Structure formats: C-alpha cells, structure tokens
Structure 1
C-alpha cells in the first residue's frame, strides 16, 4: 500500500496546478483540469464508474455501498488539486530519501535549501521512513496531492475488497482551495453526502476540528495629488499614508510573532500612486469576537493616520472568508469521535488539533456538510522545504479504510 500511494503521489506532483487569485474563472487556472482529467480517468479505471470532471474542474465519484444496511450515512472524502501561489509549482522534481536515518536533508537542486531537524523536529519521529522532498527549487505539492493520493489508494482498496462492509462513499476533488474558492461551485445535490472529511492536515495521527475564523480587509485611500514642485502644504501622498498605516500595525499581532490560539492582522498586498493606494489584509482569530476586535483596531489606526491628512479619505471594506468549523462540528460529535477511533485502529495515537488556517472543510461545514480535517502527512507547506513520509501517507490510507468500516459497524 505504501508503494501504491507513493507512486500515485509522485505521478500527481509533477503536474503544475497552481491557482491564481487574480483570475476570475473557476478553476482559476486551466492547468488544474489536467490533474482533474487524470484523476477522473484513474477513478474509472479502478471501478468508480460515475467518476467525472465537471465544468468547474471538480472531480466527483462514488464507491458503492457493500452493506445491506440502508441507513448508513454517506461519507465524502475530499482533497484539493491546486497548489499555493506562494512558491513555484512549475517543474516539480520529487526526490526520495530512502530509509531516512536522521540529520538535516540538503536539497540537490538548491544547496542553500536545507530541511533542518532543528526547524522541523518531526523528522526525529520519521527515522526509517522514506521521505519525499523536492530538489529545493519548487514546492512539492503535498498540500494537497498527498490527500488526493491517499483517497485514490483507499478507493482502489475498498473496491478491490468488497467483503469489507461500508456505506456509499463519495469522492470530491476540488480546485482553488488555496485562494479561498475551493467549494464555491460544489453541487451538493449531486454530491449527496451527509458529512465529509478533508485530508489536508499535517502530522500523522492528527484530526483537526477547529480552524481560524477569517476575514479579508481592503483599505482604499484617496490622497491629494499635485506637481511635486508645487506640493508644499498641499500634497497628501496616498503611498505615504499607506506606509504610515502599515508602520502603525501592532508588532505582537503579526503571523511571525503569534502562535497557538493567538490571531493576527496580516498585510498581504500594497499598491498605489500619489493619488490613490490600496492595502489588502487578512484577519485571523479563533473567535468572531476576536476578528471584530482586530478589525476595529485596524480601522482605528487608519482613521488616526488619516486625521493628519485632512484632504484625503479612505474606504474600509470587510469580506467574510470562512468561520471556525468547531461551531458546527460540536453539534455532531460522532463525526470527530469516529475519526479518532479510526486513527487508533490504524495504529496511531490520535491527536486533536486546531488549524492556524482554514480548509475546504471550514466552509463546507457552514454550507451544511460538517467536515473535520484529517492528516495527510505533509510538512512545511507552501515552501521549497515541503516534505512527506511514504509511511505516513500509508497510515492515512488505512485511516480512510477504517473510517469507512467504522461507520457501517456503528450504524
């Protein structure tokens, strides 16, 4: 099973599927369909007869029930096909460190890129594993092609072993998760699932039932433009105003200075000319109250900065992105409890965690499909240091199989 899931993973990561937030289409990049077409074809080849790629780039498929019980809930296992725009995903050249025996891992394509044990202590738990990395010039794409490979491998195992009793299982591979549009076009009627599990987490054995709540903020500044030679007492440079707002941000509420359950205010973009400028932010907190406090602080800073520029003005726009899925999952505790038991049956000690980020499951949960997040085994996502263990991917496959069996047993 480890060889099978690794072979799949290696096949998928070389397909460039980076999403693009600047694109208005769904999928945002047509190259995501390249992987979707391959996955749909592979699903049909292993016996998922209804597997298909829809017009939005999503892949759907069904593993038929093998149980005679007619009241087993329909489970969906889902992962996303796109990789993050944060670092290049073009020309991925995966490398395998066989039977890892400890120590730092220097990447062959860029000697400056080193996966250090001091920065990634999880490596100490992976002695003897086969570790897949890149050559250091691209990201790997374990986020979330590891999840895809695991679902595909589990699907084939279940189809090849019809004596294992389980209910109907839906498969969903989404596009554009990395830019916050992963489930915008999901056809819930066609999907027909009662609940779902994303395979989009990190360390083996982890199940995450809590995420950040998230908003985006756009600040548009209108300054006062005039020829610089005649600017004394008249010019109000929108770029300087934007810079002053950034400079006033609290240093202890940034991603690089927060951890655990602390939220943050994070500037993600700035553009402008003398007359006008725009600032983009993401706001994160585990509670909606925390979001509102941070947004109020950001607007207060903006208002105070603009007070020194009487001829200028600003617009402050907040857009909801996703909410903490724990609010929904706490109403359906068995979904997480069964996952904990499945992880245990797959030979691991379960660890419940909180995500300093979001998944497709965050939004799915609030769209009527409760959806916690299972580990996929990858680490150092969105960077050239990304890596994943073959053995941990195998454990994820076993967890999916055990979950399918468990829901049939307990119904």
Structure 2
C-alpha cells in the first residue's frame, strides 16, 4: 500500500467504484437495466450542483446531465461535451468493490488473494507492465473487477469540473457533462437528448492508457442462433434423435477458428461465441460479430447464415435459425469529416509531453452512437488496463494526467 496522499481524482475514483452499478443484459428491455445505477447517478448530480453546474439533473432513464458555463470571453465558442458511463460489465463479479493502491515494483501485479490463490497478472500476459514499474496502481481486492471502465472516466471529468470551480481563470467553452447508464449492454447514449445537451462536439473518456485517442471502432452486431432438436429415449434413438447439443457443436465447427477473438488484433474482426445453453431438445448460442470494415463485417454475418443454411439442407427439416441484431457502426464514417477533433487532442497531448497513440478501438464506445446521431465524438484514454476482468487496474499518475489533458483540451476549444 502506497503512503502517497490521494489527489482529488483518486479520491473521487475510490468513492465511485464502491457504489455498485453493474448493468444486466437480462433486463436490457429497460433503461437502466439495474436500479442501483441511480445510486451513483444521484451522487454525481449532487456533486455537480455543489461544483457550480447550472442545471445538473438525473433523467428517468438514469442519465446524469449538467452544463458548466463558459469562462469569460469564451461564451460564443461551440459547447464541448464530455461523456463517460456509470455502469460496469457483467463479464466479471462487480458488486462490493474494494479498491486499494499497490506500489508496483515489477513482476506480477497482485490485486489480492481469493480462496488462497493470488489474483495476479504479469508482464508475460501484459507487456505494458514493463513500463509501469515504480507507479502507484489502483486494483480491486481480486474478488471483483475494479470498475475503472468507466468510473475512471467519470472521476476524471468530475475532477476537471472541480478544478474549474476552484479556479475560474481556467479557460473553457460551455461544457456539457453526461454520464450514461447501460453502456456495457449496448444502450449507452442512445436515449441522450442531443439537442437539449447542446454541444457541437464531444469526447467520451472511456479508453485505455493516457495518450490514447480512438476515432475508429468496430461495426457490431449480435447473433442469436437457435437449434431445435428432437428428444427420445436414448435406447430407441437410432435414426430418430436429433441432439441440439450436437447441432451447436457442428455449427461452431463451421465458423473459421482464425476468426475467434483470441486469434485477432489490430484491424482484425472476429466472431465470438459469448454463451451457449443447451439440452437435447433446444440450444441457444449468443454470438457477437465485429469488424472495422463494413464489407468484411457483412461477410461475417453472411457466413453465419450460410453455416445455418448448410446444416438445414443436410437435416430432415430446418432446425437452425440465425437472428441478427445490429448494435453500432464504425464512427470513423462520421469523425473522418472532423479531422480537427483528432488534431486538437494530439496537440493537447504533445503540449503536455504525452505521446499521442492513435488506435482503432477493438470494441465500441458511446461515441459511436453519438457520432451517428449528430454529435461527432472520439474517445480518450483514462489510464485503465485489463477492463472486464478481476485483473483490472488504473494507474494513479495517468488518471491525474488525463485531468490535465481535459483541461488543456477545454482551453484550446475556448480559443
């Protein structure tokens, strides 16, 4: 445990991650999907009001919205939106987060001990750790994820608002602040009233290492594949039973192994089987399909349908169905027309001695929805690593630098 006094952004982060906000895909027909997200939303709205926000409120769908008046002389500049999401993923345990700071001295980064076993990650699994020796790092106790995705972004935006409140001389245009629910299950910013938000440009703060800038993301869809079997007593099954378990196995074998996410990186797309439930009679598999290239994305969707068609043609009757649900598109289609949004971030990073790292997102952010809805919105790093796992961590110094970046970015938008 480090003895270093906690900065404002770290104090906020510790406070926020201890509020349970895990979203739930099983309740994706309602927003928010979990009532506990209101706990953090109301806390943030109260803090925003105390920090001088002119209209902080929480919508019935759990969106926190507020505006910070422009500094003197910047009243006529376009309003800038800063956004993050309050929910955490279901991919790992997320309730009862217990954050602590580890002074990392190399080797394995140990979050904690669970059931007598160390929860740790080393440079062999994450080479970025080699560059973090000597850093103070925030981890969970190993029994849960940390919640840096995206409460690090929430804390950093809130720390900027606090700075502006304490020092009115900081230059900035009118700022729109929004914290969204249910990003992890695909809702995100879909219900944000963009005209009322009133911003010309925006940035989500929902990425990895400080210095990251992402304006390309996946095209994304979800596929639900259903398999209908026929059950009969196994003693009488010959030439009669159709086992839905086997249908799933056959279908999965028809999808190329090289398209699985564990064999892809960079601009590679993938088809990923996230879950399957099966009996002899029925099986349901849930897949996600991702690709930066729209044509290759469609080819992956078509491949899944062709696999189903092939099986149905070989069976006694159609027993495999594929249902595709579109999720989001590559925001590069929109942001490419606003190169200034990329350049101003790179200039801000360089002014602070931070090397810009422009990367394609191997995922999505609220910025994808927002960009196609009229608010071009690239994504910034938060200082977080290993999201969606119990090995998740956030680097203290990087969080503090992100607040500096947001301040510099606001200053440049005020000019």
**Given the two structures, how large is their TM-score scaled by the length of structure 2?**
0.94
Counterpart in the other structure of 2:89: 84
Aligned to 1:36: 41
After superposition, the C-alpha distances for 1:201-237 in whole angstroms (9 at most, x for unaligned) are 1011111111111111122233334444443222322
How many residues are treated as equivalent by the alignment? 408
Contact 2:23 2:87 in 1 (8 A): yes
Please list, as runs of the form range in 1=range in 2, the aligned pairs for 1:45-56 lying within 5 A after superposition: 45-56=50-61
- Any conservation in 2 of the 1:2–1:393 contact (CA below 8 Å)? no
The aligned counterpart of 2:79 is: 74
Q: Does residue 249 of structure 2 align to residue 217 of structure 1?
A: no
Q: Which moved more, 1:261-270 or 1:27-36?
A: 261-270
CA contact 1:241–1:306 (8 Å) conserved in 2: no
Structure 1 segment 84-233 matched on structure 2, within 5 A: 84-98=89-103, 100-110=104-114, 111-233=117-239
Shift of 1:10: 0.6
Over 6 Å off, 4+ runs:
none
Pairing 1:12-411 to 2, within 5 Å after superposition? 12-23=16-27, 24-98=29-103, 100-110=104-114, 111-409=117-415
Q: Deviations over 1:328-369 (max 9, x none)?
A: 100111111111111222320111111111111111111111
Q: Indicate the SS of the match to 2:188.
A: coil
Rounded to whole Å, the distance in 2 between the matches of 1:192 and 1:17 is 27
**Aligned-residue CA RMSD in angstroms?**
1.6
Cα contact 2:33–2:182 (8 A) shared by 1:
yes
For 1:102 and 1:240, how far apart are their aligned partners in 2?
46
Equivalent-residue separation in structure 2 for 1:2 and 1:338 (angstroms): 30
Asked if 1:10 is matched to 2:5, the reply is no
Q: Unpaired runs of 5+ in structure 1?
A: none
Other structure's SS at 2:399 match: helix
- For residues 68-93 of structure 1, give each alpha carbon's deviation from its aligned partner in whole angstroms, at most 9, with x where no partner exists: 34531111100000111000111111
Unaligned residue ranges in structure 2 (runs of 5+): none
State the shift of 1:2 in Å.
6.5
| Cα distance in structure 2, aligned partners of 1:171 and 1:259 | 33
Which deviates further from its counterpart, 164-173 or 371-380?
164-173
TM-superposed CA distance for 1:103, in Å, is 2.6
